[in-house]
Amino acid sequence: MPSTLLAKPNINNLLSSTAMALCSAFCPRISTNFRPKPFSSFPSKPLLSLSFKVFSSQATDASSQDKFSGRVGFLGLGIMGSPMAQNLIKAGCDVIVWNRTKSKCDPLISLGAKYSSSPEEVAANCDVTFAMLADPESAIDVACGKNGAVSGIGPGKGYVDVSTVDVATSKLINEHIKARGALFLEAPVSGSKKPAEDGQLIFLTAGDRSLYELVSPLLDILGKSRFYLGEVGNGAAMKLVVNMIMGSMMASFSEGILLSKKVGLDPSVLVKVVSQGAISAPMYSLKGPSMVKSQYPTAFPLKHQQKDLRLALGLAESVSQSTPIAAAANELYKVAKSYGLSDEDFSAVIEALKAKSQDTA
């Protein structure tokens, strides 16, 4: 990816604004009740009820030992949904798939999946339906829109939303599913394309405990660990906090790579040093070598990282929590998007820093 790009915007102007548009604006039906009062000291009671228990995919609890025998629906076959659905099919599950672009269903159909023409049909014909959508708008539309899953779901069925959305969106979908007499579990995942392919995702679940127990065998096919966090909203909040940290880490890592090169050090050696020290993280050793070469093979699209930062900042605003580092990182990802890097891996945020450095040289 060349560092010099055409039609560059004014970077300093773009970076100077930190005003955030809250995610609740996209859909007037979304409840704004998730707004605890500001606090001046640590509250005696947590703002989010986060009693949780962690299970590994080798857990010995009864639910993980029982094979799921029902029919599974899967809505959304993008960079994450497709490998997840493939793993269910390869494990012998009876799977029905749907995607807006039908051609994305074809590889799964060739593996043995069935196809339905709408989320409504999938939910009507499946015991449990998973959804992996790109953003809150898509999650709401697929669940609650015309021919959405809500129209086909009913008592005795379950809906598991593994998308990364804000708390309000998750609660809204939960309300619609519950109104139909069905069960709801939010289960956003920590992990990108490769963990999805390898069945090594981490599930951050909340909602109906009985549905969590029922689908635990499926979660164990798809992931290496799973957390049950209590009431709906806690899973979404945990995922946004995790991705807020990740986005900030990548922005700082990018600064380090560029600074090391600017002072005459070998950035490849920096990557090795960081990967062996106390601040080591798999992300650095995985992404660093490609970043040094200005290559950004997409595992987690930059546009999704910026979306998650935006939602995380909205969450922080709702509880009056200051997040200046995340806010600065968010502005940097917005600049990267303005360079046409939305579909590149989120590590391409380094290109925004390269451009800013050139502008100030």
The token pair at 271 is 């990557």
Q: How far does CA 17 lie from the centroid of its chain?
A: 25
Per-residue pLDDT tens digits for 40-65: 333 333 444 444 445 543 333 434 55
The β-bridge relationship of strands 223-228 and 201-207 is: parallel
72-231 to CATH, choices 3.40.720.10, 3.40.50.720, 3.30.110.70, 3.30.420.280: 3.40.50.720
**Extents of the domains making up the chain:** 72-231, 238-353
pTM reported for the whole predicted model: 0.82
* Identified catalytic residue from 239, 303, 307, 354: 239
CATH fold of 238-353 reads: N-(1-d-carboxylethyl)-l-norvaline Dehydrogenase; domain 2 (1.10.1040)
Asked if 72-231 and 238-353 have one fold, the answer is no
The token pair at 70 is 């029902």
- 53-61 long-range Cβ contacts below 8 angstroms, 24+ apart: 53/227, 53/228, 54/225, 54/226, 54/227, 55/216, 55/225, 55/226, 55/227, 55/228, 56/224, 56/225, 57/199, 57/220, 57/223, 57/224, 57/225, 57/226, 59/216, 59/220, 61/216
- Say whether pLDDT at 38 is over 90: no
Per-residue pLDDT tens digits for 196-238: 999 999 999 999 999 999 999 999 999 999 999 999 999 999 9
- Our answer to whether residue 102 is catalytic in this structure is no
Q: What angle do CA 302, 237, 99 make, to 5 degrees?
A: 55
- Would you give the DSSP letter of residue 180? T
Q: Give residue 357's pLDDT band: very low, low, confident or very high (50, 70, 90).
A: confident
